[in-house]
Structure 1
Amino acid sequence: MKAESVTDEGGERLLDITRNYSQNLAGLMLEIFALYNLSRTLHVSFDMDEVFYTVEKQMKETLGISEFSIMLLNGDNETLSVWRANSNHYDAMKDITFEVGEGVCGAVAKTGQAIAIQNVKEDERFLFYKGAHKNVGSFFSAPLKNNAGKTFGVFNVSMESPNAFKEKDMLVFNAVANHVAQAMERSKIFTETVKRSITDELTGLYSKRYFMDILGKEFSNASRLGGFFALLLMDIGKPNQSPGAGGKTMDGVIKKVAQTLAKNTRQGDVIARYDDYRIAAILPGANEDSAKIVANKLQTAVNDDVFVSGEEGGTGKLSIVFGCACFPKAGDKPDEVLGKAISALDSAWNLNDDTIRFVSA
């Protein structure tokens, strides 16, 4: 009877071990599936915001983690700031910054090594996001590295209770950080590739091809919604009309003019290099009067910022003229509006107005 009891106890222990092993294996399989699903989804994500929302969804639904943030190094690589965080805490954390080396996140950014803290009250490095998020017991921070191995940010996970992380959890968080870093790197490369395809190499303004595409879309939107817009063309003095402006000099002039225009237009305006010496602007919601106000502003800005070097070393103000056409007055097709703006621009060269040479179709 005694031997039989021992055997029964051994069988129970074996069942317990098997049951625990099965539960752990099921949990591990779930996490592996979550990582696979996250990797597969992020692999086709090229938008930075989409990357974050994908991670947020997968972390919460599959891994049960709802408290996390992504911090990125600023352009000087000396300061970390919160790029995204779960919605419950983002507003409180969005203006928080850390110097490289400061706090846990700063230390991770400096060393490129992950840090796990099981009880944040026992580690003076943890700063509770400088008081913005105090309900933290455990904290994990991993570096985000680009393809060259250079750290560009950190990925943070927190839990309310202390000692909440198991060793396998930290392996999973590290893997998530790697997937996030790779997705953000792909997004950056994709964005830069797209930007190069739609921008003019010399000026950094939009290309003519992109401008024509946006003109068509703006025309369709305005037609459908009963809106209006102004098309403003600006002609920068051709070489024989600007003293000493040879080809090499004019490249510098065009670039400087483009920089000036970019600083003096609204965020929703589309500014493009139309051809060698002409720049085009689509001004949504603008009419002839407001377009002339914009032209005056641009004229003043260019006069203040841009000078043309003469062959003898002198300088002079740049000759510029403006042509404008407004929808719907100028035509019912994009080509008609553009044609009217070009005709107005050619006519503007015949004006002798010392203030501004502006013609509207």
Structure 2
Amino acid sequence: MGSETQKKCAERAKKQLVEELEALHKRIVELEKSGAGSKPTEEALLERGLVTSAAIEEMPDGVMLVNMDGKLTYMNEACARLLGYKAGEMIGTSALELPTYRESRDREKAREILKKVISGGSTEPIDMDVITKDGREIPVSFTASVIKDAQGNSRTLVAVIRDVTERKRVEDAVRGSEELSRGMLETAATGIYLLQDGRFKYVNRLFEEISGYRSDELVGTYSLECVHPEDREAVRAKAIEVLKGQSSSPYEFRLIRKDLETVWVLDRLTSIQYKGKRSVLGTLMDITERKRIETEVLDYTRQIETLFNIGTTVSQTLNLTELLDSVLERVLGVMEIEAGGIFLLDRQTDELVLKAYRGMSAEFVGKVERLMVDEGFTGQAALSKKPLIVEDVAADPRLTRMGAKEEGIQSFAAVPIVAKDRILGVVGVGSYRSRKFPEREVKLLGTIANQIGMAVDNAQLYEQALELAFTDGLTGLYNRRYLMEQIEREFTRAERSNGSLSLMMIDLDGLKAINDRFGHHEGDGILKGLGGIIKVNTRASDVAARWGGDEFMLLTPDISSKGARKIGERIRSQVERYRPKIDGEEVRISISVGIASCPAHASDVTQLLQRVDEAMYSAKRGGKNQLCVFSY
């Protein structure tokens, strides 16, 4: 009957934890808007009551939270009932001034525990007696640990208090008698066992339930055979300490049940005389559910901290490369997964481009660095705008073509990056070991993808704003302002490296006549066409700009006037062959080009601009449709 009740409580706690995760995700957004991200994660959570979940209230043990000033900030109902106080009655009281200490030495013991926990992070369970509000004295087991922030600073002390009256009753009864009181032991609320020479001599009914073995299957066997291999040495050492007469504090270890399931237990050992021989009496409790809740709470805290950190990064940078790399690192860390990548959609080619990746081989990166939307598993996530999960890559045909199987990836998950109902990319993570992706992880990825979506959207808007600030709206070339910045920069670089650069001024001949005859709209079309011809004749390092009206400039770093003349002649020749049609009539156009270089023709930027202007007008005076290099 008790086992069924525990199961129902566990299921109820699990359901409440799931519901709370959804609430926490919503609260994250509210905290980011209100600026809570500026506080350490745990402090912000504690101040808003996010850690005091239903799961903690369900725990049978008392839980208290103490801040770094030593003040009590939280007490769950179990703790309040144990001490006989109302849950909020002692909030704000100094942990060292609580009226629950039996003697001054217990208060001093508490002081030492606080120091140890703050410096070391946790302490093994310690037995002490406490005084309840109505004056009763009860024995308790006390453990404490500390929550730290991302920088490793202690933020909050968590104390767990357990009533061990039943255990003490059993221990006292056994010490007082050579004969084990079978009735008392069989009805005890803890698992009880007796060891001699490392072998079981007795186990009670509850120990049978916890271990899954019958008493006759255990008696006579070595107790360490039931202990998880990684914990055996620690368990053996505890038993030896007790047999040597040393005191033993409660400790935790993993027990292997008969059905091979692993359960966590809290054990306490006592040395007794049984039938004239030194023996070890153990009392243990199944704490598997408590450990699960602790793990989930820790996972949720790490997830929330990750979301806060990502939110801070998103708000502080518009550099997409840095942002995506930082976000991916945090995602892999919180999910404890080995590989991942973030793809962004190139709208011109309709391809997903790999912008950030970790844990992948160069060969695999080469296969997936550009994917069509609908190609492979990542493409399917983008196309459907829904998360896609593959827990067994080898059995799924959507990934084999991309080489994931050959890469050694066994499990994979992809979540689309969407902003304003537009697909912007995909976040993908892969594991080189078989694993599942719980719903909470998929939700976490979705929340992170939304944050990336906002960041990408903001960065793209920023890039568009920069483009508008530095480009000519008609031709799409750079504007005069941007060109001047680049001329100054390249001129300084050329001087420092004893290099060269050339500047070309291109003027469209007869634009006024075209405007007068056909209208400014047609004239603008010809200017746009000329801008296109100039652009296709530039290198990646060149800067083509509209200088104003019918004048264009082309800055060519690391090129002398001789090299610039070749480029200019190629542009002039292509313009001469260009025959735009206006109202069915072919229109002939031409350009006059001037070239000046440094250091050959100018010692500063102002002089360079004057010389290139003079060279262009020389070409005009020479009959137009020609190129002229400045000469003294």
Identity within the alignment, %: 20
- Partner in structure 1 of residue 357 of structure 2: 85
Between 1 and 2, higher relative CO (CA 8 Å, sep ≥ 6) is seen in 1
CA deviation vs aligned residue, 1:178-218 (integer Å, no higher than 9, x gap):
22222111111111111111000000000101111111111
Query: By how many angstroms is 1:242 displaced?
Result: 5.7
Work out the CA distance in 1 between the residues paired with 2:612 and 2:349. Answer: 45
Q: Which amino acid aligns with 1:145?
A: V
Q: Secondary structure of the equivalent of 2:316? A: coil
Relative distance call for 1:101 and 1:319 in structure 2 (3 A) is closer
Task: Give the drift of 1:159.
Answer: 0.6
Q: What SS class does the counterpart of residue 209 from structure 1 fall into?
A: helix
Is 1:333 aligned to residue 614 of structure 2? no
How far apart in 2 are the matches of 1:115 and 1:131? 15
Decide which moves more: 86-95 or 102-111: 86-95
Of 367, 385, 394, 1:121 maps to 394
Give the residue type in structure 2 aligned to 1:256: G
Question: How far has the Cα of 1:162 moved from its partner?
Answer: 1.5
In 2, Cα distance between the equivalents of 1:51 and 1:120? 29
Name the structure 1 match of 2:555: 282
Structure 1 match to 2:190: 8
Q: Which residue of 1 aligns with 2:276?
A: none
In the superposition, the TM-score normalised over structure 1's length comes to: 0.88
Determine if the alignment matches structure 1 residue 358 to structure 2 residue 358.
no
Q: Is the 8 A contact 1:128 1:134 kept in 2?
A: no
How far off is 1:132 after superposition? 7.7
Larger displacement relative to structure 2 (238-247 or 44-53): 238-247
Structure 1: 5+ residue runs without aligned partners? none
Query: Partners of 1:27 and 1:216 in 2: how far apart?
Result: 53
Q: Are 2:561 and 2:629, in contact at CA under 8 Å, matched by a contact in 1?
A: no
CA distance in 2, matches of 1:341, 1:132: 61
Is the CA contact (8 Å cut-off) linking 1:253 and 1:306 kept in structure 2? no
- The SS at the match of 2:402 is helix
Corresponding position of 2:509: 237
C-alpha distance in structure 2 between counterparts of 1:139 and 1:74, whole Å: 23
Report the Cα distance in structure 2 between the residues aligned to 1:144 and 1:27, rounded to whole angstroms. 23
| Equivalence for 2:620 | 349
1:273 aligns to what SS in structure 2? Answer: strand
Deviations 1:122-151 (A, max 9, x none): 3333336245853111111111112x2122
More strand by share: 2
Supply the RMSD in Å over aligned alpha carbons: 2.7
Q: Distance in 2 between matches of 1:322 and 1:245?
A: 25
Are 1:22 and 2:294 an aligned pair? yes
Note the C-alpha offset of 1:57: 2.9
Q: 2:457 maps to which residue?
A: 185
3-state SS in 2 of match to 1:85? strand
Q: Which runs of 5+ in 2 are unaligned?
A: 1-180, 192-205, 207-265, 267-283
Contact 1:229-1:286 within 8 A present in 2 as well: yes
Aligned length: 357
Partner of 1:197: 469
TM-score (norm 2): 0.52
For residues 133 and 91 of structure 1, what CA distance do their matches in structure 2 show? 10
After TM superposition, give the deviation of residue 317 of structure 1 in Å: 2.6
The whole-number CA distance in structure 1 between the counterparts of 2:623 and 2:466 is 42
Deviations 1:27-72 (A, max 9, x none): 2211211121112112222222222222233234554334112234
Q: 2:320 — aligned with what? A: 48
When Rg is computed on C-alpha atoms for both structures, the one with the higher figure is 2
Aligned-partner Cα distance in 2 for 1:126–1:95: 12
The whole-number CA distance in structure 2 between the counterparts of 1:94 and 1:43 is 32
Q: Is the 8 A contact 2:381 2:414 kept in 1?
A: yes
Cα distance in 2 for residues equivalent to 1:169 and 1:78: 29
More off after superposition, 70-79 vs 259-268:
70-79
Aligned with 1:43: secondary structure?
A: helix
Query: Residue 217 of structure 1: SS of its match in structure 2?
Result: helix
